Structure 1
Amino acid sequence: MTTKESFTSDSLFELYKTLGLPVDMFDLKEGFTIFNLKEVGFTLPYESSSYRPNFFSFLFVKDGQGKYAIDEHTFEVAPHSIYFTNPSNYRTFSWQRIEDVLLITFDEAFLKKYIGEDVYTDFPFLLTEVIRPRVVPDDFFRDIGNINLQIRKEYKGNAASRYKIIGHLLAVLLFKIKEHIWMDYNPIYEGNRSSQIVILFKRMLEQHYRDLAAGKAAVVFRVQDYADAQHLHPNYLSSVIKSKTGKPIAVWIAEKTLAEARSLLQNSSIPVKEITYRLGFTETSHFSNFFKKHMGVSPNKYRNTLHL
């Protein structure tokens, strides 16, 4: 292992490369991988550095022993367990024994390209923060094991349409897991980490725009800033906000920008030019176009109408 510092990884390839693990078995054409960890060649016992992934992963442990830690939680990974992670907080993993452990990873781009743009509607559990490994019955483990064997066969093959086939098989796998483990999962009613993410985002959004309106903040936050505040990847934050509220994070920010613009125009004499810069627009014309798009009139006309 080459580092003990925390880092962010956009793919399993980047993760293993940073950790000094073998990467010669990777196919980098798409954001998908499937390996038996026995093939990787871990020097056991093994403990990783802390990292934040920008990809989803499923771990199917037929025979092995290890631990995964995220935040203050540590979970034992035992035989016949399934462990799921998504782009989220920093975590570490360790292995004491690896005999038959299958790891599947995929990114959001792969999901939307080969399964569909509405993937989170079909599989809302992909956004869950329920991270505890699930020990499943033998028959279910064998059932999904057969699907995994087909996926591995396609991944190692050279068919021109192999990733389309893998996408279909992955969808089958996700449906099986949904029906067996997360049948009743609904992110709208989940009262744990995902709800906290939305609450903290809304609080931060509100406070930040108060600071902007009062001149206490000079730079408008980007999605990256809201994500960094919760130690999340921006793609994951965006997905959680959209899934749980029904509105993309960009819409939340645009609506808040518009609300603050209207408030400043109504309740202050601050020039439109200054409002432009306070709300993060580089040119008055950009702000005017934004405001007119949503309100139907220019900022000046809106203000003048209020004071007739």
Structure 2
Amino acid sequence: MSDKPETLEELYKRKFNWVPDSLRKEMGHFNVFPLDPFVGERAQPVPYIKRDYYKIMLAIGSSQVHYADKVVDVKKQALSFSHPQIPYKWEHNRIRRGFFCIFDQHFFHNFGDLNQYEVFQPNGTHLFELTDEQVAQVTAVYERMFAEIDSDYLYKYDVLRTLVFELLHFALKMQPSSTFDKQPINASQRISTLFLELLERQFPLDDTHQRVNLRTASDFAGQLNIHVNHLNRAVKEITQKTTSQLIAERIVQESKVLLKDSSWNVSEIAYALGFTETTHFNNFFKKHMQRSPLQYRKA
């Protein structure tokens, strides 16, 4: 995986061998495409990378999606939401058809914060299996996008933003009611949510100069301005795991991604993950993975 996220300009060069003039002129960018030329027998290998743009895709056909250290199977068809900070890769060879739209954060400047929605949050749901009826509904939204972007309407990009929100809310409404807590959120839930958001905000690591600063339960408690025992009780109550367990699991997850998909050496990875000595990182990794970082990288 490249240490730098793919830009919209690089996407256009990779997929289309051209870059629209408007990309350099517009404060925000939006475009929509059929998926057909890039799937099935015509599918080309897609790199496992981060992107600096958002993407919403309807993929019709079975497939697999690779996120960090997990693989998600799509049985028949799905709607996916890709966030700039979440690296992923689709297997396109079994997808038959579909659509995708791409846009950057400037496209929604002064029109709302997309990151407040779960589909664009690191721990949120990014993939939604669809029924045939739901595929027809989503396809209709994409067809309106194509019609709008080809029109001469002066405010067409306002309409296109509305259609993006339509896809977003279509997916959010699909989530099981249990996902949305209808009871008043108690103090433990609030504290746990804030802790997990702080933890996730430190990742992914894109640059060797970045460093994880919050490494212990005390670090997080200080940031949240609560006693560490209060934090530990709240997290254990809600997640059934200790604060230290969750921190360690997230650091292990990030270290696996960096070892497999970056060119950083082990010392650089250790530093970025907040370890004062490379040997401390080696011991930590071996404790959780039963092998050294170099053994894991070579496997």
TM-score (norm. length: structure 1):
0.53
Instruction: Name the counterpart of 1:196.
Output: 199
Q: Give, in whole Å, the separation in 1 of the partners of 2:2 and 2:202.
A: 30
Give yes or no for the alignment of 1:152 onto 2:150.
Answer: no
C-alpha contact (below 8 Å) 2:50/2:85 kept by paired residues = yes
The size of the alignment, in residue pairs, is: 203
Give yes or no for the alignment of 1:46 onto 2:49.
Answer: no
Shift of 1:37: 1.6
Instruction: Name the counterpart of 1:58.
Output: 56
Q: Pick closer, same or farther for the CA change 1:58–1:118 going to 2, 3 Å.
A: closer
Larger C-alpha radius of gyration, 1 or 2? 1
Q: Percent identity?
A: 12
Shift of 1:163: 0.7
Q: Give, in whole Å, the separation in 1 of the partners of 2:40 and 2:4.
A: 20
Unaligned stretches of 5+ residues in structure 1: 208-229, 233-308
C-alpha contact (below 8 Å) 1:65/1:78 kept by paired residues = yes
Alignment of 1:7-22 (within 5 A): 7-11=4-8, 13-17=9-13, 20-22=14-16
Give yes or no for the alignment of 1:36 onto 2:34.
Answer: yes
C-alpha contact (below 8 Å) 2:62/2:94 kept by paired residues = yes
| Deviation readout 1:12-53 (Å, 9 max, x if unpaired) | x42242xx3214485634322211121458864532223211
Alignment of 1:115-126 (within 5 A): 116-121=111-116, 123-126=117-120
TM-score (norm. length: structure 2):
0.54
Q: Give, in whole Å, the separation in 1 of the partners of 2:146 and 2:68.
A: 32
Q: Pick closer, same or farther for the CA change 1:98–1:141 going to 2, 3 Å.
A: closer
C-alpha contact (below 8 Å) 1:124/1:185 kept by paired residues = no
Shift of 1:172: 2.2
Unaligned stretches of 5+ residues in structure 2: 182-188, 204-211, 220-253, 258-299
C-alpha contact (below 8 Å) 2:12/2:18 kept by paired residues = no
Instruction: Name the counterpart of 2:133.
Output: 139
Alignment of 1:287-298 (within 5 A): none
| Deviation readout 1:271-293 (Å, 9 max, x if unpaired) | xxxxxxxxxxxxxxxxxxxxxxx
C-alpha contact (below 8 Å) 1:47/1:93 kept by paired residues = no
SS of the counterpart of 1:53? coil
Instruction: Name the counterpart of 2:167.
Output: 173
Give yes or no for the alignment of 1:76 onto 2:73.
Answer: yes
Shift of 1:6: 5.5
Q: Pick closer, same or farther for the CA change 1:182–1:173 going to 2, 3 Å.
A: farther
| Backbone CA RMSD of aligned residues | 4.0
**Structure with the largest fraction of strand:** 1
